[in-house]
Structure 1
Amino acid sequence: MKGIILAGGSGTRLFPITKAISKQMVPIYDKPMIYYPLSVLMLAGIKEILIISTERDIGYFKKLFKDSLEIGLTIEYAIQKTPNGLADAFIIGEEFIGDDTVAMILGDNIFYGQNLTDYLLDAASLKDGAVIFGYYIQDPREFGVIEFDEDNKAISIEEKPARPKSKYAVPGLYFYDNSVIKKAKELKPSPRGELEITDLNRLYMDESKLKVIRLGRGMVWLDTGTHSSMLKAANFVEVIQDTHGIYIACLEEIAYRQGWITAEKLGQLAKPLMKTGYGKYLISIIEE
């Protein structure tokens, strides 16, 4: 399976911060925002990743991840010239995806929880159809909303409904078989001029090939698209790391625990970072 991070958009909700820099480069506590979605793909066992961003911002990511091979990743880059919607990512990434299955995560989404890896590996094992997630929130009107029948089967998905039929929102993490490319090309733009991911998911639902995994109470999903949500996410990361001593979205640690790099390599990566808590944390992993 291959992975796509959609890190485009103009980030207008975060002005003036994003007037000169991609919002996915803005720090969430001690790491760039994009570290968090990248870590999710890594936990799913995905090593080949395409980052899609704007022409202005793509260079930032190339500079940030220039040494990605050192942690076992192969990262490619593509430009989304205009914000044509989330489903456009599969058209842009057609050559990258090839004949593989694919996962796509939004560049401003954070996931954390004890069973996260289990959820991810389950979804990444798909051969046919699609897997999305349902997350219970009090007010889901700003997201895609899933309606379930009495047997807990998903029967409808609505994009940003004024009157949601449930409180289960669709987080920005999606797993698809290879037919996603063909399906994305068949979509017609919505009234707001975008290829909607909700319409794409409906196509799978119409074929009875859409699996919805409900994330339990122990899971945390954070959408960091506003100043307030960014602050809340940063505070959350700080509390977890300071209280438990476990770093969230530490890419080098994930690569090491996945067996992609050795302890010796981890030590080499930590050496230039020893003036930071991040570097000292990497050393502590080796000493466990």
Structure 2
Amino acid sequence: WAPRLRPLTWVISKQLLPVYDKPMVYYPLNTLVSAGIKDILIIIAPENSGLFLNLLGTGEEFGVHFSYVVQKEPRGLADAFIIGEDFIDGDNITMVLGDNIFDYDFSEHIKNFKSGGQIYVKKLDDIETIKRLGVVELDNNHKVLSIEEKPANPKSMYVSVGLYTYDSRVVKIAKNLQPSARGEIEISGNPSINNTFLEMKELEAKIFDGFWEDAGNFDTLLNAGNYMSQKNKNQKT
């Protein structure tokens, strides 16, 4: 797992690597906690389960409740909704990826969510960066017109980030997904969770302008750490 951060990830989970003064996983968890989410399911690989339990515990330190489930094999991101079906229990669900670092308050977007699928997008300036990400084309009402993974000719400057909100139908959708070319069931791409909601004309995007970094390689990991370091210094002055 996490080949872009090897050799570190040969011996430790990517989400336990430091981003400035905290383990990476603290930041996506804080994104959920600051949005008012009190019950959080953490999906972990069997070889790292003890490390996460020792680090995070019951969630008391965060003022919330953590549950855990082990993903025995990497079947894809959308598998989270299948193995988390009992936890979801017919409710709406917000998912954050463990390597996505945000400095933004999503609470209003999540609180006001009603149904369907809701993705979160950020406008970027660098076209070469955009070409490496999931590009989202929007209409004037922020309904999603298309999502393209790593397009040669992007249709917009908006990219999808690793935060998603869905209604409970996401479980059934995930169960019915066919694996992608890489053999996994996907959240984005074709076929995927997002594409299914898009075909149903029930996929909306929320634009945000705060800090975001996918800390999945050494450069972005360093950038996220530098940002948090500077933020910490600014708060002390």
Indicate the structure (1 or 2) with the bigger Cα radius of gyration. 1
**Which residue of structure 2 lines up, in the alignment, with residue 241 of structure 1?**
232
Distance 1:45 1:173 in 2: 15
Match for 1:126 among 113, 118, 121? 113
Instruction: Give the match for residue 83 of structure 1.
Output: 74
Map 1:1-288 to 2 at 5 A.
10-112=1-103, 116-117=104-105, 119-137=106-124, 138=126, 139-149=129-139, 152-198=142-188, 199-216=192-209, 219-245=210-236
CA distance in 2, matches of 1:17, 1:207: 41
1:26 Cα deviation after fit: 0.6
Deviations 1:22-71 (A, max 9, x none): 11011100000000000000011111111112111121110001252354
The two structures, once aligned, show a CA RMSD in angstroms of 1.7
The TM-score with structure 2 as length reference comes to: 0.91
Letter in 1 for 2:167: D
Deviations 1:205-250 (A, max 9, x none): 222221101113xx1111100011111111111111102239xxxx
The separation in 2 between residues aligned to 1:19 and 1:77, in whole angstroms, is: 23
Contact 2:58/2:66 (8 A) holds in 1: no
Per the alignment, do residues 203 and 44 of structure 1 end up closer, same or farther by CA in structure 2, a change over 3 Å counting? Answer: same
Change (3 A) 1:121 1:58: farther
CA contact (8 A) 2:40 2:66 kept: yes
Give the Cα separation in 2 of the matches to 1:33 and 1:171. Answer: 16
Query: How far is 1:144 from its partner?
Result: 1.6
Match of 1:172, as an amino acid? G
Structure 2: which 5+ residue stretches go unaligned?
Answer: none
Q: Counterpart of 1:169 in structure 2: which amino acid? A: V
Mapped partners of 1:207, 1:153: distance in 2? 12
What SS is found at the alignment partner of 2:221?
helix
Structure 1 residue runs of 5 or longer lacking an equivalent are: 1-9, 247-288
Q: Residue 152 of structure 1: CA displacement?
A: 5.0
* Aligned residue pairs, count: 231
Distance in structure 1 (CA, Å) of the matches to 2:142 and 2:61? 44
- Whole-angstrom distance in 2 between the partners of 1:237 and 1:155: 34
Distance apart, 1:72 and its partner CA: 2.8
Q: 1:103·1:124 contact (CA, 8 Å) conserved in 2?
A: no
Equivalent-residue separation in structure 1 for 2:107 and 2:198 (angstroms): 20
1:194 Cα offset (Å): 1.3
Return closer, same or farther for 1:35/1:44 CA change in 2, 3 Å cut-off: same
